[in-house]
Chains A and B, each alone.
Chain A
Amino acid sequence: MSKDKKVQVTAIENGTVIDHIPADSLFKIVRILRLESEINKVTFGTNLESKVMGKKAIIKINDRYCEQEEVNRIAIIAPMSIVNTIKNFDVVEKRKVVIPDSIEGFVKCGNPKCITNNEPVKTSFSIIKSEDITFKCRYCEKNTYQSEMILIK
């Protein structure tokens, strides 16, 4: 099986590999990590077979190491992801993503009458960790749920 994996997505020498991403969340993670403007080599794979998840996606970013704060942003989309740090083709660290207590930007407030949807105000939420992750808007105080979440831009 591990041999198959290597065939599916090539290994990297140094950088970050984000694994166990649900296949349908790949492009959201691309956006949340701002990979559109990444200058390093990035490899994506999606709809790869996974014993646990059925279909999964994987992202490999050459020569970039992610801060924990950055990694935690992934958690609001794909809480099961694993972030591997690769040095010299070896996995030197495996990190679980942790849902953060708050998030600024990225997520749009679901309330159309919220100030953040009508004036140039950066969104800000406290996060309530429940089955459906809940974002409580700092401004209008309304809840937006992960299942209905829209990312900004």
Chain B
Amino acid sequence: MEKKNLISITDFSKEEIIRITELAADFEQNPHQKLLEGKVIASLFFEPSTRTRLSFESAMNRLGARVIGFSDTTNTSVSKGETLHDTILTISNYCDMIVMRHSLEGAPRYASEVSKIPIVNAGDGANQHPSQTLLDLYSIKKTQGTLDGIKIMMIGDLKYGRTVHSLLEALSHFNAEFIFVSPEELSMPMEYKNGLTDKGLKFTEKREIGEEINSADIVYMTRVQRERFTDHMEYERVKNAYVLRNSMLANTKENMRILHPLPRVNEIDPDVDSNPKAYYFEQTENGVYTRMAIISYLLGVKK
């Protein structure tokens, strides 16, 4: 079998994306499938990330694989100055798959060229985080019953937010309609908007959440970070415009669900949490099933 990696969401075809969501649903129905007994998976977190690491390691354990690795590089040869090339080549001799996070962008793609076993990107700087995108898609499919023709409102930092860019690319396979809500400084980059235009997909841009929220099937929240602003006065002026409050949800669609890649800081008011349309914590549970699907698909135990 040819080695298959997951580095960027564009590595998966539309059919593969659909297949992952089906497999995730299957694992949710029946989480006790020890398909990877006797396998060893390395979990290499060159940059710490509690949530993603534990979600991946939970998925590996539920599949019956043994997990080796590190959660930061302090006590590893990386801190002695070993190159990524040597680290990956060595560890790829110890295991059947590597899941890695790295602060340098492109590190997992390079690792996939060095390694003879599959590499899964668990986040590389501001570049890609494809398992997040797939779990977002699974959450959309689970709550809406379909991935086709979804109207999604993306709110917050649309310039630097890697999750919104990958989700946009994935949803462009499925005839989605987009509403972008962001401050001017953090608006959706031109290359992504041009990509949508080329595919004949509809989008609108807003500076405020407004009434448009009532037409959305999915509201995807991201955090507007102070450090992203060159002008801190501007941040103070706009920050409250991108906070979601329960009062704004009164006339939203019945099927509408709110997603957030987490961690949340203050962009979703806690008064939203008890609203049945708040879905961001269920979304994290979907992450484990999605990662079980990704791992078992790449290792060929699920087709």
Contact = CB atoms under 8 A, between A and B. Distances in A.
Nearest to A138: B109
B127 interface: yes
A119 B110 contact: yes
A115 B8 contact: no
B126 A113 contact: yes
Interface in B96-111: 102-107, 109-110
- Report the interface size class on chain A: 10 to 19
Contacts of B105: 111, 113-115, 139-142
Contacts of B125: 113, 140
Interface in A83-124: 111, 113-116, 118-121
Contacts of B103: 113
A29 interface: no
Contact of B127 (A121, A140, A143): A140
Interface string B94-135: 000000001111110110000000000000111110000000
Interface string A121-141: 100000000000000011111
Contacts of A137: 106
Contacts of A119: 83-85, 104, 107, 110
B40 to A, nearest CB: 25
Contact of A114 (B8, B84, B104, B191): B104
Given A113-B105, A113-B125, A119-B104, A141 B110 contact: no
Contacts of B127: 140-142
A141 B162 CA distance: 12
A118 B124 CA distance: 14
B98 to A, nearest CB: 15
Interface string A70-90: 000000000000000000000
Contact of B85 (A116, A120, A140): A120
A114 B126 CA distance: 10
Contact of B110 (A111, A139, A142, A143): A139
Contacts of A141: 8, 105-106, 127-128
A113 B109 contact: no
Contacts of A142: 105, 127
- Cβ-closest 9 pairs across A and B: A139-B106, A140-B105, A140-B106, A115-B106, A115-B104, A115-B107, A139-B109, A113-B105, A115-B110
Interface of A: 111, 113-116, 118-121, 137-143
24 contacts: A111-B105, A113-B103, A113-B105, A113-B125, A113-B126, A114-B104, A115-B104, A115-B105, A115-B106, A115-B107, A116-B106, A119-B85, A119-B107, A120-B85, A121-B85, A121-B110, A138-B106, A139-B106, A139-B109, A139-B110, A140-B124, A140-B125, A141-B105, A141-B106
